Structure 1
Amino acid sequence: MTHVVPSQSSSLDDWLCYLESIHPSNIDMGLTRVRQVGEKLGYTALPNVILIAGTNGKGTTARCLEALLLSQGYSVGTYASPHLIRYNERVRINGSELPDQDHVAAFHALEQGRGEISLTYFEFGTLAALEVFKQKQPDYILLEVGLGGRLDATNIVEPIASVITTIDLDHKEYLGDTRELVGREKAGIFRANAPAIVGDLAIPSSIWQYAEELGTQVTAAQKDYSFALTADLLTYQNGDLTLSLPVPNIPAQNVATAITTLYTLGLLPNENTICDVLANLTVEGRFQCLSEQPLVYADVAHNPESARYLASKLATFQAQGKTIIALAGMLQDKDQKAVFNAVKSNIDQWHLANLTCFRGDKADNLLQQLHSEVDKPNATIHDSVASGLQSVLANMPEDQLLIVFGSFYTVADAIAFWQNKE
């Protein structure tokens, strides 16, 4: 099939539609094609790259690293995925999204340079981000790994540090169905000549084994550094370094991972600067407050580990006497039962919504999975996230909290609903 190639004057939407059409599959694991293009166009030699892998916490760790580097006057390029509302969210320079034309120019340059080599949507987007960074030349580049690590398109670069945030089961069909297998895939971003920082609190032995084989120096949570969280203080310890920090708006584990990464690289700012950064740091879609009256939060939790963190956040509101209402929408290939199991003791009333996106599941199917974990759940199904929000918000007392969760798509729909509502 012949596809009409957009031009430099085409819209970003035209280019994104084109990228979705040019490869026969959405996921095509392997680095051969991507590396060929990357080497040809000079992307593999980009300097000062930090690679960030992990089942959960990549986005928040990257945002923390970005803010801490920016606080010292460095310029920073950040690549993350997926986006919530706009594709532009995927690439940031100094914390800001870029205009459409910058993405179009990068897509055009890559299209001209890739020749006959076929690329998936994600691969094309990743290489286009590297094209942006090649043009903008930031002091440091933060690359968030998309899937796994070893065979992910981001892994064609040579990082100055490799980071693994957490290890849990997700994307089992690609990464394996044990933490050992998943850990080995994510450790594929390690390099012999660059430090590795692992924030997981129970590191699989496969990570240690691969690091030893490669000769990578690993700095590990609970072994080389530690952190403790109280109601009003985050304490961090790493050798002679002790920090007393405000409680962050993102998971403390990810903050500790980011701090350790910069400390290892000799790039950590002073304690006062870190405190200022953490006091103002928020990440979209991560227990994000959409409204205070009524009280509405949104969280992208979509696997067991992220659901357990969500449960811990909800528990603090339960302790204050809040009734918790959940509106959930999930993808078909997620471990829905495990997610429901992780939060079931924190939810008083359930609302389940259809997701109409690719791989989106029906509310009827979610209800079946919920019944297997919760005995006689108080549950209502809805045609969409928007209709679910309309229904819940119409009769929501002040002593209730609504949490919208289950997928990036679910949260995106909730944010869009709120923006339209305003």
Structure 2
Amino acid sequence: MTHVVPSQSSSLEDWLCYLESIHPQNIDMGLTRVRQVGEKLGYTSLPNVILIAGTNGKGTTARCLEAILLAQGYSVGTYASPHLIRYNERVRINGAELPDQDHVDAFHALEQGRGDISLTYFEFGTLAALEVFKQKQPDYILLEVGLGGRLDATNIVEPIASVITTIDLDHKEYLGDTRELVGREKAGIFRADAPAIVGDLAIPQSIWHYAEELGTHVTAAQKNYSYRLSTDYLTYQNGDLTLTLPVPNIPAQNVATALTTLHTLALLPDQNTLSKVLANLTVEGRFQCLSKQPLVFADVAHNPESARYLASKLGEFKAQGKHVIALAGMLQDKDQKAVFNAVKAEVDEWHLASLSCFRGDQAENLSLNLKAEIVDSQFTLHTSVAQGLTSVFKTMDEEDLLIVFGSFYTVADAIAFWQNKE
């Protein structure tokens, strides 16, 4: 099938439609094709790259690293996926999204350079981000690894540090169904001559074995550094270094991972600078407050580990006497039962929404998995997130908290609904 190739004057939307059409598979594991293109166009030798892998916490760790580096006057390029509302969210220079034309120029350059090598949507987007960084030349580049690590398109670069945030079960059909198997895939971003930082609190043996095999030096949570969260402070300790910092708006575990990465690279600023950064750091879609009256939060939690963190946040409000209402929308290939199990103790009222996106599940199917975890569960089904929000808002009062969660698509729908509402 012949596809009409967009030009440098085409719209970003035209290019994204083209990217979706040129490869027969949504996910095509392997680095051969991507590396061929990357080496040809000079992407594999980009300087000062930090690779960030993990089941959860990649986005918040990257945001934390980005903010701390920017506070010291460095320029920073950041690549993350997926996006919530706009494709432009995937690539940032100095914390800011880029205009459409920058993405179009990068896509055009990549299209001209790839020849007849086929690329998936994600691979094309990843290489285009590297093209942006090649042109903009930031001091540091933060690459959020997509699926796994070993075979992810980001893994064609040579990093100055490799970071693993957490290990949990997700994408089991690609990464394996045990933490040992998943850990080995994530450890595929390690290099013999670059330090590795692992923030997981129960590091699988497969990570240690692979690091030893490579000769990679690993700095590990609870072994080489630690953190403690109290009501008023986050205390971080690494060797002789002790920092007392404000309680962050993102998971303390990810903050500690970011601090350790910068400490390892001799890029950690003074405590005062860190305190200012953490006091103002928020990340979209991670227990994001959409409204204070009524009280509405949105969270992309879609696997057991992220759901457990969400439950801890909801528990804080339950302790204050809040009545917690949940509106959940999830993808078909997620462990819905485990997610529901993780949050069920903190939810008083359930609403389930169908998602119309690719792999989006129907509310009726969600209800079967909810019943499996809460036998006598009561719930209301909705045809969409927007319809669910419209319905729930009619009954909310000042004692209620609504949490919208279950996937990036669910949160994106909630944010879009709220923007239209305003």
TM-score (norm 1): 1.00
- 1:339 matched residue in structure 2: 339
Q: Distance in 2 between matches of 1:419 and 1:322?
A: 25
Provide the secondary structure at the position in 2 that maps to 1:33.
helix
- 2:358 matched residue in structure 1: 358
Q: Distance in 2 between matches of 1:241 and 1:255?
A: 15
Q: Distance in 2 between matches of 1:300 and 1:374?
A: 22
Unaligned segments of structure 2, at least 5 residues = none
Q: Distance in 2 between matches of 1:154 and 1:253?
A: 24
Provide the secondary structure at the position in 1 that maps to 2:298.
strand
Q: Distance in 1 between matches of 2:5 and 2:52?
A: 32
Question: How many pairs were matched up?
Answer: 422
Work out whether residues 348 and 378 of structure 1, in 8 Å CA contact, stay in contact via their aligned partners in 2.
no
2:147 maps to 1:147: yes
- 2:165 matched residue in structure 1: 165
- 2:382 matched residue in structure 1: 382
- 1:238 matched residue in structure 2: 238
After superposition, give the CA deviation of every residue in 1:262-309 in whole Å (9 maximum; x if it has no partner).
000000010000000000000000000000000000000000000000
- 2:297 matched residue in structure 1: 297
- 1:222 matched residue in structure 2: 222
After superposition, give the CA deviation of every residue in 1:2-22 in whole Å (9 maximum; x if it has no partner).
000000000000000000000
* Cα offset, 1:182, TM superposition: 0.1
Aligned letter for 1:17?
C
Q: Distance in 1 between matches of 2:175 and 2:229?
A: 32
Q: Distance in 1 between matches of 2:282 and 2:256?
A: 15
Matches within 5 A, 1:266-415: 266-415=266-415
Q: Distance in 2 between matches of 1:49 and 1:364?
A: 44
Work out whether residues 52 and 165 of structure 1, in 8 Å CA contact, stay in contact via their aligned partners in 2.
yes
* Cα offset, 1:350, TM superposition: 0.2
After superposition, give the CA deviation of every residue in 1:12-57 in whole Å (9 maximum; x if it has no partner).
0000000000000000000000000000000000000000000000
Q: Distance in 2 between matches of 1:345 and 1:117?
A: 50
* Cα offset, 1:375, TM superposition: 2.3
After superposition, give the CA deviation of every residue in 1:87-123 in whole Å (9 maximum; x if it has no partner).
0000000000000000000000000000000000000
- 1:251 matched residue in structure 2: 251
* Cα offset, 1:395, TM superposition: 1.1
- 1:118 matched residue in structure 2: 118
* Cα offset, 1:342, TM superposition: 0.2
Q: Distance in 2 between matches of 1:168 and 1:34?
A: 27
Q: Distance in 2 between matches of 1:128 and 1:361?
A: 31
After superposition, give the CA deviation of every residue in 1:204-251 in whole Å (9 maximum; x if it has no partner).
000000000000000000000000001111000000000000000000
2:175 maps to 1:195: no
* Cα offset, 1:318, TM superposition: 0.3
Aligned letter for 2:173?
E
Aligned letter for 2:360?
G
Work out whether residues 193 and 216 of structure 1, in 8 Å CA contact, stay in contact via their aligned partners in 2.
yes
Aligned letter for 1:390?
T
Structure 1 moving runs of 4+ over 2 Å:
none
Q: Distance in 2 between matches of 1:88 and 1:418?
A: 20
- 2:24 matched residue in structure 1: 24
- 2:211 matched residue in structure 1: 211
Q: Distance in 2 between matches of 1:250 and 1:122?
A: 27
- 1:71 matched residue in structure 2: 71
Provide the secondary structure at the position in 2 that maps to 1:133.
helix
Provide the secondary structure at the position in 2 that maps to 1:63.
helix
Aligned letter for 1:40?
K
Provide the secondary structure at the position in 2 that maps to 1:69.
helix
Provide the secondary structure at the position in 2 that maps to 1:237.
strand
Aligned letter for 1:250?
I
* Cα offset, 1:397, TM superposition: 1.0
Unaligned segments of structure 1, at least 5 residues = none
- 1:138 matched residue in structure 2: 138
